Amino acid sequence: MSLNPITRRRFLTAASGLLAGLPFASHLRVYSPANRLARGKYSITAIASRNGLEAIQLAYKLISDGKDPLDAVIAGVTLVEDDPEDDSVGYGGLPNEDGVVELDAAVMHGPSHKAGAVAALRNIRNPSKVARLVMETTDHVLLVGKGALRFARAHGFKEQDLLTDKARKAWLKWKQSLSPRDDWLTPPEEDQQTGAASLLDRHTGTIHCASINSSGDISCATTTSGLSYKIPGRVGDSPIIGAGLYVDNDVGSCGSTGRGEANLQNLCSFHAVELMRGGMSPKDAGLEVLRRVASHTREERLLDDRGRPDFGLKFYLLGKDGSYAGVSMWAPARFAVADRKGARLEDCACLYDRDN
Protein backbone atom coordinates (compact mmCIF):
# COMPACT_ATOMS: atom_id res chain seq x y z
CA MET A 1 0.00 0.00 0.00
CA SER A 2 1.78 3.24 -1.07
CA LEU A 3 1.27 6.50 0.84
CA ASN A 4 1.99 10.03 -0.35
CA PRO A 5 4.61 11.95 1.76
CA ILE A 6 2.07 13.98 3.80
CA THR A 7 -0.09 10.97 4.44
CA ARG A 8 2.99 8.97 5.35
CA ARG A 9 4.17 11.57 7.90
CA ARG A 10 0.74 11.78 9.57
CA PHE A 11 0.44 8.03 9.41
CA LEU A 12 3.80 7.44 11.12
CA THR A 13 3.10 10.15 13.72
CA ALA A 14 -0.22 8.57 14.56
CA ALA A 15 1.24 5.07 14.63
CA SER A 16 4.11 6.10 16.93
CA GLY A 17 1.67 7.99 19.20
CA LEU A 18 -0.32 4.84 19.54
CA LEU A 19 2.74 2.74 20.27
CA ALA A 20 4.04 5.35 22.74
CA GLY A 21 1.47 4.46 25.31
CA LEU A 22 -2.10 5.23 24.35
CA PRO A 23 -4.21 2.67 26.14
CA PHE A 24 -4.90 -0.51 24.24
CA ALA A 25 -8.20 -2.28 24.37
CA SER A 26 -6.55 -5.64 24.88
CA HIS A 27 -7.76 -5.89 28.48
CA LEU A 28 -11.32 -5.73 27.12
CA ARG A 29 -10.78 -8.63 24.79
CA VAL A 30 -13.24 -11.39 25.53
CA TYR A 31 -12.98 -14.56 23.53
CA SER A 32 -16.29 -16.25 23.09
CA PRO A 33 -16.09 -19.96 22.25
CA ALA A 34 -16.99 -19.06 18.68
CA ASN A 35 -14.05 -16.66 18.51
CA ARG A 36 -11.65 -19.17 20.03
CA LEU A 37 -12.59 -21.71 17.39
CA ALA A 38 -12.29 -19.12 14.69
CA ARG A 39 -8.96 -17.50 15.60
CA GLY A 40 -6.83 -16.87 12.55
CA LYS A 41 -9.64 -17.64 10.09
CA TYR A 42 -10.68 -14.15 9.17
CA SER A 43 -9.22 -11.74 6.63
CA ILE A 44 -8.28 -8.32 8.00
CA THR A 45 -10.60 -5.66 6.60
CA ALA A 46 -11.27 -2.01 7.41
CA ILE A 47 -14.04 0.15 5.97
CA ALA A 48 -14.89 3.83 6.37
CA SER A 49 -16.84 6.68 4.92
CA ARG A 50 -15.31 8.37 1.88
CA ASN A 51 -13.25 10.77 4.01
CA GLY A 52 -11.63 7.80 5.75
CA LEU A 53 -9.10 6.56 3.20
CA GLU A 54 -6.12 7.53 5.36
CA ALA A 55 -7.94 6.25 8.43
CA ILE A 56 -8.38 2.75 7.00
CA GLN A 57 -4.80 2.67 5.74
CA LEU A 58 -3.62 3.29 9.27
CA ALA A 59 -6.20 0.95 10.82
CA TYR A 60 -5.26 -1.84 8.43
CA LYS A 61 -1.55 -1.41 9.19
CA LEU A 62 -2.11 -1.42 12.95
CA ILE A 63 -4.30 -4.52 12.86
CA SER A 64 -1.80 -6.27 10.62
CA ASP A 65 0.82 -5.45 13.28
CA GLY A 66 -1.37 -7.16 15.87
CA LYS A 67 -3.15 -4.19 17.44
CA ASP A 68 -6.70 -4.50 18.68
CA PRO A 69 -9.31 -3.34 16.09
CA LEU A 70 -10.59 -0.69 18.52
CA ASP A 71 -7.12 0.83 18.89
CA ALA A 72 -6.84 0.74 15.11
CA VAL A 73 -10.12 2.48 14.27
CA ILE A 74 -9.61 5.16 16.93
CA ALA A 75 -6.10 5.86 15.63
CA GLY A 76 -7.63 6.07 12.14
CA VAL A 77 -10.43 8.50 12.95
CA THR A 78 -8.04 10.61 15.06
CA LEU A 79 -6.27 11.53 11.81
CA VAL A 80 -9.51 13.03 10.54
CA GLU A 81 -10.45 14.66 13.87
CA ASP A 82 -7.05 16.40 13.81
CA ASP A 83 -7.35 17.50 10.17
CA PRO A 84 -8.32 21.21 9.95
CA GLU A 85 -9.31 20.69 6.31
CA ASP A 86 -12.10 18.22 7.15
CA ASP A 87 -14.95 20.51 8.14
CA SER A 88 -17.24 17.74 9.39
CA VAL A 89 -15.23 16.23 12.25
CA GLY A 90 -13.13 17.38 15.22
CA TYR A 91 -10.80 20.37 14.83
CA GLY A 92 -12.05 22.49 11.91
CA GLY A 93 -15.58 21.09 12.07
CA LEU A 94 -18.38 23.49 11.17
CA PRO A 95 -19.91 25.06 14.29
CA ASN A 96 -23.44 25.35 15.66
CA GLU A 97 -25.62 28.41 14.96
CA ASP A 98 -23.75 30.37 17.65
CA GLY A 99 -20.39 29.70 16.00
CA VAL A 100 -19.30 27.09 18.59
CA VAL A 101 -18.03 23.66 17.53
CA GLU A 102 -19.89 20.85 19.32
CA LEU A 103 -18.74 17.28 18.74
CA ASP A 104 -20.39 13.86 19.02
CA ALA A 105 -18.62 10.49 18.93
CA ALA A 106 -19.09 6.85 19.85
CA VAL A 107 -16.98 3.71 19.88
CA MET A 108 -18.01 0.08 20.17
CA HIS A 109 -15.80 -2.89 20.99
CA GLY A 110 -17.14 -6.15 19.59
CA PRO A 111 -15.42 -8.72 21.84
CA SER A 112 -16.71 -7.13 25.07
CA HIS A 113 -19.91 -5.73 23.51
CA LYS A 114 -19.12 -2.50 25.34
CA ALA A 115 -19.67 1.00 24.01
CA GLY A 116 -18.85 4.56 25.00
CA ALA A 117 -20.01 7.89 23.64
CA VAL A 118 -19.95 11.65 24.14
CA ALA A 119 -22.31 14.27 22.77
CA ALA A 120 -22.30 18.06 22.44
CA LEU A 121 -18.69 18.09 23.65
CA ARG A 122 -16.93 21.44 23.24
CA ASN A 123 -13.23 22.37 23.12
CA ILE A 124 -11.81 18.83 22.89
CA ARG A 125 -10.55 17.87 19.44
CA ASN A 126 -10.64 14.07 19.84
CA PRO A 127 -14.09 13.07 21.09
CA SER A 128 -13.56 9.45 19.97
CA LYS A 129 -10.76 9.09 22.55
CA VAL A 130 -13.02 10.54 25.25
CA ALA A 131 -15.80 8.14 24.16
CA ARG A 132 -13.38 5.25 24.57
CA LEU A 133 -12.55 6.36 28.11
CA VAL A 134 -16.26 6.56 28.94
CA MET A 135 -16.44 2.91 27.86
CA GLU A 136 -13.28 1.80 29.63
CA THR A 137 -13.33 3.78 32.87
CA THR A 138 -16.99 4.32 33.79
CA ASP A 139 -20.13 2.29 34.27
CA HIS A 140 -21.87 4.54 31.73
CA VAL A 141 -22.23 4.61 27.97
CA LEU A 142 -22.97 8.26 27.11
CA LEU A 143 -21.81 11.55 28.64
CA VAL A 144 -23.02 14.88 27.28
CA GLY A 145 -22.17 18.58 27.30
CA LYS A 146 -20.49 20.03 30.37
CA GLY A 147 -20.32 16.64 32.07
CA ALA A 148 -18.46 15.19 29.08
CA LEU A 149 -16.09 18.17 29.10
CA ARG A 150 -15.38 17.81 32.83
CA PHE A 151 -14.75 14.10 32.29
CA ALA A 152 -12.32 14.84 29.44
CA ARG A 153 -10.50 17.44 31.56
CA ALA A 154 -10.20 14.93 34.40
CA HIS A 155 -8.45 12.59 31.98
CA GLY A 156 -5.97 15.28 30.99
CA PHE A 157 -7.41 16.34 27.64
CA LYS A 158 -6.41 19.90 26.81
CA GLU A 159 -9.10 22.41 25.88
CA GLN A 160 -8.71 24.45 22.72
CA ASP A 161 -10.84 26.57 20.41
CA LEU A 162 -11.85 24.14 17.64
CA LEU A 163 -13.15 26.85 15.30
CA THR A 164 -10.66 27.35 12.46
CA ASP A 165 -10.67 30.53 10.40
CA LYS A 166 -12.05 28.58 7.44
CA ALA A 167 -14.97 27.21 9.49
CA ARG A 168 -15.62 30.63 11.08
CA LYS A 169 -15.82 32.27 7.62
CA ALA A 170 -18.22 29.58 6.35
CA TRP A 171 -20.40 30.08 9.44
CA LEU A 172 -20.34 33.88 8.99
CA LYS A 173 -21.45 33.58 5.35
CA TRP A 174 -24.26 31.26 6.42
CA LYS A 175 -25.36 33.75 9.09
CA GLN A 176 -25.15 36.73 6.74
CA SER A 177 -27.17 34.91 4.08
CA LEU A 178 -29.91 33.49 6.28
CA SER A 179 -32.55 36.11 5.71
CA PRO A 180 -32.94 39.35 3.75
CA ARG A 181 -35.06 40.65 6.66
CA ASP A 182 -32.47 40.58 9.44
CA ASP A 183 -29.66 43.06 10.11
CA TRP A 184 -26.90 40.96 8.55
CA LEU A 185 -26.28 42.07 4.96
CA THR A 186 -25.57 39.33 2.43
CA PRO A 187 -22.12 39.97 0.94
CA PRO A 188 -22.89 40.90 -2.70
CA GLU A 189 -19.85 39.06 -4.11
CA GLU A 190 -21.10 35.84 -2.50
CA ASP A 191 -24.39 36.14 -4.36
CA GLN A 192 -22.48 36.57 -7.59
CA GLN A 193 -19.93 33.82 -7.03
CA THR A 194 -21.87 30.98 -5.52
CA GLY A 195 -25.53 31.92 -5.36
CA ALA A 196 -27.46 32.43 -2.15
CA ALA A 197 -28.83 28.88 -2.13
CA SER A 198 -25.40 27.25 -1.84
CA LEU A 199 -24.54 29.55 1.06
CA LEU A 200 -27.44 28.07 2.93
CA ASP A 201 -26.33 24.51 2.26
CA ARG A 202 -25.73 22.57 5.44
CA HIS A 203 -24.13 19.23 5.83
CA THR A 204 -23.82 16.31 8.19
CA GLY A 205 -20.37 15.04 7.30
CA THR A 206 -18.97 12.50 9.70
CA ILE A 207 -16.42 9.70 9.70
CA HIS A 208 -17.31 6.11 10.50
CA CYS A 209 -14.56 3.49 10.56
CA ALA A 210 -14.87 -0.24 11.31
CA SER A 211 -12.41 -3.10 11.21
CA ILE A 212 -12.07 -6.82 11.74
CA ASN A 213 -8.88 -8.64 12.65
CA SER A 214 -7.69 -12.13 11.79
CA SER A 215 -9.41 -13.50 14.92
CA GLY A 216 -12.75 -12.18 13.72
CA ASP A 217 -12.94 -9.43 16.35
CA ILE A 218 -14.73 -6.29 15.17
CA SER A 219 -14.75 -2.73 16.50
CA CYS A 220 -15.83 0.62 15.15
CA ALA A 221 -15.99 4.35 15.79
CA THR A 222 -18.12 7.23 14.52
CA THR A 223 -17.15 10.86 15.11
CA THR A 224 -18.61 14.14 13.86
CA SER A 225 -19.18 17.83 14.35
CA GLY A 226 -22.77 17.05 13.41
CA LEU A 227 -25.18 19.10 11.38
CA SER A 228 -23.53 22.37 10.46
CA TYR A 229 -25.08 25.47 12.11
CA LYS A 230 -27.32 23.26 14.26
CA ILE A 231 -29.32 24.52 17.21
CA PRO A 232 -26.89 24.42 20.16
CA GLY A 233 -27.31 21.15 22.02
CA ARG A 234 -28.61 19.25 18.98
CA VAL A 235 -27.28 15.69 19.07
CA GLY A 236 -27.35 13.55 15.94
CA ASP A 237 -27.14 9.84 15.37
CA SER A 238 -23.35 9.44 15.66
CA PRO A 239 -23.10 8.99 19.46
CA ILE A 240 -26.24 6.88 19.76
CA ILE A 241 -25.47 3.17 19.95
CA GLY A 242 -27.62 1.29 17.44
CA ALA A 243 -27.96 4.39 15.25
CA GLY A 244 -24.55 5.94 14.50
CA LEU A 245 -22.86 2.56 14.93
CA TYR A 246 -23.41 -0.95 16.18
CA VAL A 247 -21.35 -4.11 16.42
CA ASP A 248 -22.30 -7.65 17.19
CA ASN A 249 -19.03 -9.54 17.27
CA ASP A 250 -20.73 -12.72 16.06
CA VAL A 251 -22.32 -10.99 13.07
CA GLY A 252 -20.74 -7.73 11.91
CA SER A 253 -21.00 -3.98 12.21
CA CYS A 254 -22.74 -0.99 10.70
CA GLY A 255 -22.15 2.75 10.96
CA SER A 256 -23.58 5.83 9.37
CA THR A 257 -23.06 9.27 7.93
CA GLY A 258 -25.71 11.69 6.70
CA ARG A 259 -28.99 12.98 8.09
CA GLY A 260 -28.85 11.88 11.71
CA GLU A 261 -32.50 12.57 12.45
CA ALA A 262 -33.61 9.98 9.87
CA ASN A 263 -31.29 7.40 11.38
CA LEU A 264 -32.37 8.20 14.96
CA GLN A 265 -36.00 7.59 14.02
CA ASN A 266 -35.16 4.16 12.61
CA LEU A 267 -32.17 2.89 14.63
CA CYS A 268 -30.64 1.76 11.36
CA SER A 269 -27.26 0.37 12.43
CA PHE A 270 -28.82 -2.05 14.90
CA HIS A 271 -31.45 -3.01 12.34
CA ALA A 272 -28.84 -3.62 9.63
CA VAL A 273 -26.75 -5.88 11.87
CA GLU A 274 -29.89 -7.82 12.82
CA LEU A 275 -30.70 -8.30 9.13
CA MET A 276 -27.17 -9.60 8.61
CA ARG A 277 -27.69 -11.98 11.52
CA GLY A 278 -30.72 -13.27 9.61
CA GLY A 279 -28.51 -14.07 6.63
CA MET A 280 -28.61 -10.94 4.50
CA SER A 281 -25.41 -9.73 2.84
CA PRO A 282 -24.06 -6.34 4.02
CA LYS A 283 -25.28 -4.76 0.78
CA ASP A 284 -28.81 -6.17 0.97
CA ALA A 285 -29.10 -5.32 4.68
CA GLY A 286 -27.94 -1.75 4.03
CA LEU A 287 -30.37 -1.23 1.16
CA GLU A 288 -33.20 -2.70 3.22
CA VAL A 289 -32.66 -0.20 6.07
CA LEU A 290 -32.55 2.64 3.53
CA ARG A 291 -35.90 1.41 2.15
CA ARG A 292 -37.26 1.43 5.71
CA VAL A 293 -36.09 5.02 6.20
CA ALA A 294 -37.69 5.99 2.89
CA SER A 295 -41.01 4.38 3.81
CA HIS A 296 -40.98 6.14 7.21
CA THR A 297 -40.21 9.57 5.73
CA ARG A 298 -43.60 11.22 5.40
CA GLU A 299 -43.13 14.94 5.93
CA GLU A 300 -43.47 16.80 2.64
CA ARG A 301 -40.57 19.12 3.43
CA LEU A 302 -38.27 16.05 3.46
CA LEU A 303 -39.49 14.59 0.14
CA ASP A 304 -38.64 15.45 -3.44
CA ASP A 305 -41.30 15.92 -6.13
CA ARG A 306 -41.41 12.14 -6.64
CA GLY A 307 -41.89 11.39 -2.94
CA ARG A 308 -38.32 10.24 -2.33
CA PRO A 309 -36.33 11.30 0.78
CA ASP A 310 -34.63 14.54 -0.16
CA PHE A 311 -31.56 14.02 2.02
CA GLY A 312 -28.37 12.02 2.15
CA LEU A 313 -27.86 8.98 4.35
CA LYS A 314 -25.16 6.33 4.05
CA PHE A 315 -24.24 3.14 5.85
CA TYR A 316 -20.97 1.22 5.98
CA LEU A 317 -21.40 -2.46 6.75
CA LEU A 318 -18.85 -5.10 7.63
CA GLY A 319 -19.66 -8.80 7.90
CA LYS A 320 -17.94 -11.23 10.25
CA ASP A 321 -16.57 -13.02 7.16
CA GLY A 322 -14.93 -9.83 5.84
CA SER A 323 -17.78 -9.13 3.39
CA TYR A 324 -18.58 -5.43 3.27
CA ALA A 325 -20.65 -2.74 1.57
CA GLY A 326 -21.29 0.96 1.47
CA VAL A 327 -24.88 1.93 0.73
CA SER A 328 -26.36 5.34 0.06
CA MET A 329 -29.79 6.88 -0.28
CA TRP A 330 -28.55 8.75 -3.36
CA ALA A 331 -26.09 8.05 -6.15
CA PRO A 332 -23.32 8.72 -6.73
CA ALA A 333 -21.52 7.85 -3.50
CA ARG A 334 -18.27 6.18 -2.53
CA PHE A 335 -16.73 4.63 0.56
CA ALA A 336 -13.27 3.52 1.61
CA VAL A 337 -12.12 -0.05 2.14
CA ALA A 338 -8.79 -1.74 2.91
CA ASP A 339 -8.09 -5.44 2.74
CA ARG A 340 -5.33 -7.61 1.38
CA LYS A 341 -5.88 -6.00 -2.05
CA GLY A 342 -4.94 -2.57 -0.63
CA ALA A 343 -6.82 0.59 0.31
CA ARG A 344 -9.21 2.14 -2.17
CA LEU A 345 -12.51 3.91 -2.74
CA GLU A 346 -15.40 1.84 -4.05
CA ASP A 347 -18.89 2.76 -5.23
CA CYS A 348 -21.78 2.51 -2.80
CA ALA A 349 -24.90 0.60 -3.75
CA CYS A 350 -27.52 3.34 -4.04
CA LEU A 351 -31.28 3.33 -3.55
CA TYR A 352 -32.03 6.34 -5.76
CA ASP A 353 -30.46 8.20 -8.63
CA ARG A 354 -31.47 11.78 -9.46
CA ASP A 355 -31.10 10.92 -13.16
CA ASN A 356 -33.67 8.11 -12.99
Between CA 82 and CA 240 the distance in angstroms is 22
DSSP-based helix, strand, coil % in the chain, nearest 5: 35, 25, 40
Between CA 73 and CA 76 the distance in angstroms is 5
| Total residues binding ligand GLY (CB under 6 A) | 12
- From the list 19-27, 121-129, 159-167, 232-240, the region that binds ligand GLY by CB under 6 A is 232-240
Strand, helix or coil for residue 319: strand
Which CB, 57 or 257, lies closer to ligand GLY? 257
Which CB, 89 or 212, lies closer to ligand GLY? 89
Backbone angles phi, psi at 336, to 5 degrees: -110, 140
Q: How far is CA 284 from CA 165, 207, 325, in A?
A: 42, 22, 9
Does 237 sit near ligand GLY (CB under 6 A)? yes
Between CA 304 and CA 282 the distance in angstroms is 27
Between CA 346 and CA 344 the distance in angstroms is 6
Which CB, 67 or 271, lies closer to ligand GLY? 271
Which residue from 42, 106, 102, 44 is spatially nearest to 74, judged by alpha carbons? 106
Does 93 sit near ligand GLY (CB under 6 A)? no
Q: Least distance (Å) from ligand GLY to the CB of residue 230?
A: 8
Does 239 sit near ligand GLY (CB under 6 A)? no
Which CB, 96 or 238, lies closer to ligand GLY? 238
Does 102 sit near ligand GLY (CB under 6 A)? no
Q: Which of 110, 216, 236, 255 binds ligand GLY (CB under 6 A)?
A: 236
Restricted to residues 171-230, the positions that interact with ligand GLY (CB under 6 A) are 204, 206, 224, 226-227
- From the list 12-20, 58-66, 181-189, 231-239, the region that binds ligand GLY by CB under 6 A is 231-239
DSSP letter at 142 equals E
Asked about 206 being catalytic, the answer comes back as yes
Catalytic residue chosen out of the listed positions 45, 164, 204, 206: 206
Which CB, 135 or 227, lies closer to ligand GLY? 227
Q: Least distance (Å) from ligand GLY to the CB of residue 356?
A: 26
Does 238 sit near ligand GLY (CB under 6 A)? yes
Q: Least distance (Å) from ligand GLY to the CB of residue 227?
A: 5
Does 260 sit near ligand GLY (CB under 6 A)? yes
For 323, left (φ over 0), alpha (ψ -120 to 50), or beta? beta
**Are 223 and 253 a contacting pair, CB within 8 Å?**
no
Strand order in the sheet with 218-224: 142-144, 114-121, 103-109, 218-224, 206-212, 45-49, 334-339, 342-347
Q: Least distance (Å) from ligand GLY to the CB of residue 127?
A: 12
- Footprint of ligand GLY (CB under 6 A): 204, 206, 224, 226-227, 236-238, 256-258, 260
